[in-house]
């Protein structure tokens, strides 16, 4: 069954709207909602993610049984973000993925992914600065409309590549992450001090840290 796309001119939060619609059984997974204008979006660690008209804001829900068997649920954000990254690369962008879920152009963040487990459904939100960005953030280096990008992404997502296919490419790109720090489990550490494991988690200071957030 394909992912149905519902498009809105404006939403407070695609993530909140989708979760409420799923709980009220107004929408049924697999499903995606999107908008070019989000007014009260949520980023990772409780941050706000708001942008100008024309940027990308989507949230989608898929049943966990649709995910590839070799994907550890805690690494879903890496998996889903990298699918989007590959779509953007195929369109000519130089975007890269910083562990675990941040889209970067050069040294500046351009967007991110947030994932939540709601019952048996994985709900994922993606925000990208397609046409404008706040100070110290990047905006997209190619021209594409939010709706067209969503269609390209959903088409790629529905192929559900195996985790090992995604990880084989992500682990090469991980070297670019080593110049940055990350936040996990209420601590901040340099990624160059961490070891990337085959399931997408990190080993740092004797601890295993996963990316689901």
Contacts of 86 (CB under 8 A, 6+ apart): 156, 169
Task: Give the start-end residues of each E strand in 8-143.
Answer: 31-35, 56-63, 96-98, 102-105, 108-118, 121-128
Give CATH for domain 4-169: 3.30.930.10
pLDDT in tens, 55-109: 999 999 999 999 999 999 999 999 999 999 999 999 999 999 999 999 999 999 9
Q: What residue segments make up the domains of the chain, in order of their start?
A: 4-169
Can you give the pLDDT at residue 43? 52
Residue 141 has pLDDT above 50, yes or no: yes
- Provide the whole-model pTM: 0.92
| Residues 173, 176: Cα–Cα separation, whole Å | 6
When pLDDT is cut at 50, 70 and 90, the band that residue 184 belongs to is confident
Confidence category of residue 212, pLDDT binned at 50, 70, 90: low
């Amino acid at each position: 069954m394909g992912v149905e796309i519902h498009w809105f001119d404006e939403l407070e939060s695609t993530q909140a709207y989708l979760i409420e619609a799923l709980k009220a059984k107004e929408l049924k997974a697999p499903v995606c909602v999107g908008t070019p204008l989000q007014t009260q979006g949520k980023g990772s660690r409780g941050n706000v993610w708001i942008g100008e008209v024309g940027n990308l804001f989507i949230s989608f829900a898929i049943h966990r049984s649709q995910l590839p068997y070799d994907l550890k649920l805690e690494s879903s954000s890496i998996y889903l973000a990298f699918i989007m990254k590959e779509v953007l690369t195929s369109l000519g962008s130089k975007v890269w993925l910083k562990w675990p879920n941040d889209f970067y152009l050069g040294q500046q963040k351009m967007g991110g992914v947030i994932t939540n487990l709601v019952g048996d459904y994985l709900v994922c939100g993606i925000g990208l600065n397609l046409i404008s960005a706040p100070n110290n953030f990047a905006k997209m280096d190619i021209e594409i409309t939010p709706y067209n990008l969503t269609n390209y992404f959903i088409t790629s997502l529905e192929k559900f590549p195996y985790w090992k296919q995604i990880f084989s490419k992500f682990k090469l790109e991980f070297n670019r992450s080593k110049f940055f720090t990350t936040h996990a489990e209420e601590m901040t550490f340099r990624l160059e001090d961490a070891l990337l494991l085959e399931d997408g988690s990190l080993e740092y200071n004797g601890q295993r840290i996963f990316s689901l957030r």
